[in-house]
């Protein structure tokens, strides 16, 4: 039970589609039930007449990772684990650190050196995680985590190779179906390690099987051009992009992501860093939602795909805004404008405004 009033607890609300048993601790930090907001001005700028944003940055640690992390950490607790461990481009580590803190177990996070956005790194430290900086990239870190976890000893891997993570993340698809009354025509999202696209596809598939939705959306995944293994059809050994969250060259959920693409009649495309930065600015300036760079990939991609006719701009489109804008203040600092100084008088403010 919770003392959060009307706010649903994710593991209770979605109990029927989660691996929750009578022995599973009902851990919660208030994850899920995130806003689905219409974005007409942003939609108009990319040629989409019915565009919605699923605001996953509204989760407790500021990203969609909390949906799966609450389940993974609860199951780790249930199995008597003493520590959780993950590789991360930042958000998974922030989420693991927070849920481990609440659960009273240790969190160990392996991060690619120098490539973690400041907000995310701060979150991991603030929650008391043990932070290891790997002289390599995310893919190298995940390889080591697999070996660490294989050793047993009460150490649970909480990357998305842990099936409880995917089960939890699938709840976002159920929320979208509940809010819209059916699945949208298109679901667009950023793709890195490819767990989330796999989770959404599973969620929509389950929603149809349960009779909650009549159809499944086309899945439209977007990668950064410098880290686009699924678009190229081959791993990328030195992935590079301003969207550090999706700086991944060898996605763990490769096969399920390709299956989601193909079964849905969808596509996985890439966008340049310049397109990502432009779209990040538009999402806040035209939509009012401040997101980290990775979330701009689906908006930048949709613009290209609608323009080229590969996506129908008249359909109902949901784009997933996976993480909050203040996670990466350094990249966003280009948006800071000129500060207008003024005397502390009405006249002074009017002068500064030019009114």
Return residues touching ligand F0G (CB under 6 A). 63, 65, 88-92, 160, 190-196, 245-246, 292, 294, 322-323
Instruction: Kindly tell me which of 103 and 222 has the beta carbon lying closer to ligand F0G.
Output: 222
Compare residues 160 and 280 and give the one whose CB is closer to ligand F0G: 160
Q: How far is the CB of 72 from ligand F0G (least distance, A)?
A: 13
Q: How far is the CB of 55 from ligand F0G (least distance, A)?
A: 12
Q: In what order do the strands lie in the sheet with 83-87?
A: 130-134, 106-112, 83-87, 155-157
DSSP code string of 282-350: HHHHHH---B-GGGHHHHHHHHHHHHTTSS-TTSEEEEEE-BBGGG-HHHHGGG--------SSHHHHH
Closest contact distance (angstroms) between CB of 257 and ligand F0G is 8
The minimum distance between CB 1 and ligand F0G, in angstroms, equals 30
- 108 by DSSP, 3-state: which? strand
User: Measured from the CB of residue 195, what is the shortest distance to ligand F0G in angstroms?
Assistant: 4
Instruction: Give min distance, CB of 334 to ligand F0G, in A.
Output: 19
d(CA 96, CA 345): 49
35 class by beta-carbon count within 10 Å (0-12 exposed, 13-18 middle, 19+ buried): middle
- For residues 353 and 334, give the distance between their C-alpha atoms in angstroms, rounded to a whole number: 22
- Distance (Å, rounded) from C-alpha 225 to C-alpha 326? 23
| 190 vs 313 by CB, closer to ligand F0G | 190
Order of strands across the sheet with 50-55?
36-38, 50-55, 316-321, 186-190, 218-224, 267-271
Using the minimum distance from each CB to ligand F0G, give the nearer residue, 286 or 291: 291
Nearer of residues 119 and 313 to ligand F0G, judged by Cβ: 119
Which residue, 43 or 119, has its beta carbon nearer to ligand F0G? Answer: 119
């Amino acid at each position: 039970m919770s003392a959060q009033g009307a706010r649903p607890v994710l593991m209770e609300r979605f109990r029927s589609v989660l691996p929750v048993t009578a022995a599973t601790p009902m851990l919660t930090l208030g994850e899920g039930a995130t806003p689905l907001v219409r974005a007409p001005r942003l939609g108009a700028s990319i040629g989409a007449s019915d565009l919605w944003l699923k605001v996953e940055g509204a989760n407790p640690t500021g990203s969609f990772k909390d949906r799966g992390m609450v389940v993974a950490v609860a199951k780790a607790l249930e199995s008597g684990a003493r520590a959780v461990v993950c590789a991360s481009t930042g958000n998974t580590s922030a989420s693991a650190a927070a849920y481990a803190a609440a659960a009273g177990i240790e969190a160990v996070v392996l991060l690619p050196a120098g490539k973690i956005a400041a907000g995310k790194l701060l979150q991991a430290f603030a929650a008391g995680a043990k932070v290891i900086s790997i002289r390599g990239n995310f893919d190298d870190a995940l390889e080591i985590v697999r070996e660490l976890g294989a050793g047993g000893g009460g150490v649970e891997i909480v990357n998305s190779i842990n099936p409880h993570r995917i089960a939890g993340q699938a709840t976002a698809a159920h929320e979208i179906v509940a809010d819209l009354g059916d699945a949208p025509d298109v679901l667009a999202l950023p793709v890195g390690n490819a767990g989330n696209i796999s989770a959404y596809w599973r969620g929509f598939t389950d929603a149809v099987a349960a009779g909650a939705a009549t159809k499944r959306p086309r899945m439209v995944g977007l990668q950064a051009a410098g880290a686009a293994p699924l678009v190229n059809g081959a791993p990328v050994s030195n992935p590079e992009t301003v969207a550090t969250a999706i700086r991944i060259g060898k996605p763990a959920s490769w096969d399920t992501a390709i299956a989601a693409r193909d079964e849905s009649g969808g596509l996985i495309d890439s966008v340049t860093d310049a397109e990502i930065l432009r779209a990040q600015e538009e999402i806040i300036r035209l939509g009012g939602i401040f997101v980290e760079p990775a979330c701009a990939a689906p908006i930048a991609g949709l613009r290209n795909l609608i323009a080229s006719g590969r996506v129908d701009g008249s359909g109902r489109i949901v784009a997933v805004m996976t993480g909050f804008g203040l996670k990466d203040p350094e990249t966003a600092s280009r948006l800071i404008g000129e500060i207008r100084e003024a005397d502390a008088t009405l006249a002074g403010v009017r002068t500064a405004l030019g009114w």
